[in-house]
C-alpha cells in the first residue's frame, strides 16, 4: 500500500528536477538550431534561460525593422500536455503577444493578439517587394480558440483565427489605401476556409473561399467585389473580366487559381 505513495513522491522529485533544469537552461544553447530553421537573412539572438528570457529578431546587423521580444514560462498549456510560453514583442514593426504551447512536431497558438507593419512582409517574403505592401496587419485567435500547426510530414493547421488589414495598399493598385478588411479563417488539416466579415474602402469583398496548403496548391474565392472608379483603369478592367457586373456595381466572382 505504500508503493504508490513512494512512486508518486519520486515522480514529483523527478518532475521538479527536470523543471529546475529547464529553468536554468541557457537560451543561447538552442539559438543555433533555431537560426538553422529560419529563412535567411532572418536570424535570432537570445539571452536568459528557456524559462524566462529575451531576444532580438532581425534581418541584418543594423536592420531598422529589428524586433525585440521577451518570453516567460506559462503553465496553462500543461493541461493539454504541452510546454507553454507567453511571448511578447513591442516594436514599431511588430507588437503584441501570443501563448505558445509546444509539443514534438507541433505548436499551439492561443491568446494571440499581434499587430505588424505590412512593409515587414517584404523582409519575410522577398517577392512581396514587387507589390510593396503597406498598412497594418493584425492576427488574433478569438476567445478561447487555439490554432495548432503540425509540421510532422506536411504542414497541417487546425483551429480558428482572425486576419485583419487596415489602410492596406499595394503598388499596382495605386498610391491610396484600398481599404480595411477582416477575415475569419477556419483551418482543417491542409485546407483553410476563409470568409470576409468586414470590408470597406476602394476595394470591397463580400464572400468566402478556400486555400489548399497541400498539392495541388489552390486558392478560390466566391462572392462579390466592389471596385472604386478611383482605381487604375487596368485594374478595373481585370476585375470586370472576372464576372458580370450587377446594377449595384458589384462584380460577381467565382474564381480559382493555383499558387
Residue 245: pLDDT band with limits 50, 70, 90: very high
Radius of gyration of the chain measured on its C-alpha atoms: 22
pLDDT the model gives residue 155: 77
DSSP string for residues in 103-164: ETTEEEEEEEEEEEEGGGHHHH-GGGGGT--EEEEEEE--TT-EEEEE-SSS-EEEEEEEEE
pLDDT the model gives residue 1: 43
**Mean pLDDT value of segment 103-110:** 90
**Mean pLDDT value of segment 214-234:** 93
- φ, ψ (nearest 5 deg) of residue 146: -130, 145
Q: Are residues 83 and 162 in the same domain?
A: yes
Asked if residue 147 has pLDDT above 90, the reply is yes
pLDDT: which is higher, 20 or 128: 128
Maximum average pLDDT range among 21-30, 50-59, 151-160: 50-59
Q: Are residues 13 and 126 in the same domain?
A: no
CB 58 within 8 A of CB 71: no
Task: Name the residue among 108, 109, 123 with its Cα closest to residue 67.
Answer: 123
Asked if residue 24 has pLDDT above 80, the reply is no
Maximum average pLDDT range among 32-41, 144-153, 157-166: 157-166
**Mean pLDDT value of segment 80-107:** 91
For residue 128, is it within any domain? yes
Please give the Cα distance from 235 to 225 (Å, whole number): 12
Asked if residue 249 has pLDDT above 50, the reply is yes
pLDDT the model gives residue 121: 83
How many domains does the chain divide into?
Answer: 2
Q: Are residues 6 and 94 in the same domain?
A: no
Asked if residue 12 has pLDDT above 80, the reply is no
For residue 124, is it within any domain? yes
Q: What is the mean pLDDT of the chain?
A: 87
Q: pTM for this one?
A: 0.83
pLDDT the model gives residue 175: 84
Q: Are residues 22 and 53 in the same domain?
A: yes
Q: Of the residues 37, 64, 91, which one is the last residue of a structural domain?
A: 64
Q: Are residues 123 and 146 in the same domain?
A: yes
* Residue ranges making up the domain that contains 32: 1-64
Amino acid at each position: 500500500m505504500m508503493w504508490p505513495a513512494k512512486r508518486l513522491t519520486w515522480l514529483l522529485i523527478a518532475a521538479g528536477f527536470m523543471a529546475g533544469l529547464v529553468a536554468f537552461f541557457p537560451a543561447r544553447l538552442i539559438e543555433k538550431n533555431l537560426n538553422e530553421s529560419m529563412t535567411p537573412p532572418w536570424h535570432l539572438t537570445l539571452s536568459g534561460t528557456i524559462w524566462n528570457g529575451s531576444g532580438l529578431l532581425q534581418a541584418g546587423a543594423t536592420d531598422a525593422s529589428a524586433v525585440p521580444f521577451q518570453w516567460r514560462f506559462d503553465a496553462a498549456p500543461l493541461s493539454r500536455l504541452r510546454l507553454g510560453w507567453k511571448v511578447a514583442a513591442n516594436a514599431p514593426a511588430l507588437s503584441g503577444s501570443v501563448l505558445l504551447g509546444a509539443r514534438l512536431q507541433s505548436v499551439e497558438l492561443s491568446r494571440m493578439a499581434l499587430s505588424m507593419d505590412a512593409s515587414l512582409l517584404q523582409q519575410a517574403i522577398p517577392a512581396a517587394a514587387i507589390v510593396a505592401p503597406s498598412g497594418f496587419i493584425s492576427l488574433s485567435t478569438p476567445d478561447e480558440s487555439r490554432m495548432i500547426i503540425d509540421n510532422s510530414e506536411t504542414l497541417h493547421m487546425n483551429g480558428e483565427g482572425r486576419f485583419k488589414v487596415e489602410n492596406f495598399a499595394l503598388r499596382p493598385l495605386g498610391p491610396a489605401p484600398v481599404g480595411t478588411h477582416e477575415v475569419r479563417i477556419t483551418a482543417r488539416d491542409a485546407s483553410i476556409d476563409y470568409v470576409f466579415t468586414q470590408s470597406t474602402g476602394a476595394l470591397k469583398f463580400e464572400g468566402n473561399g478556400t486555400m489548399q496548403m497541400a498539392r495541388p496548391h489552390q486558392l478560390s474565392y466566391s462572392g462579390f467585389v466592389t471596385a472604386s472608379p478611383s482605381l487604375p483603369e487596368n485594374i478595373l478592367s481585370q476585375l470586370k473580366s472576372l464576372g458580370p457586373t450587377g446594377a449595384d456595381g458589384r462584380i460577381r466572382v467565382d474564381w480559382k487559381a493555383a499558387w
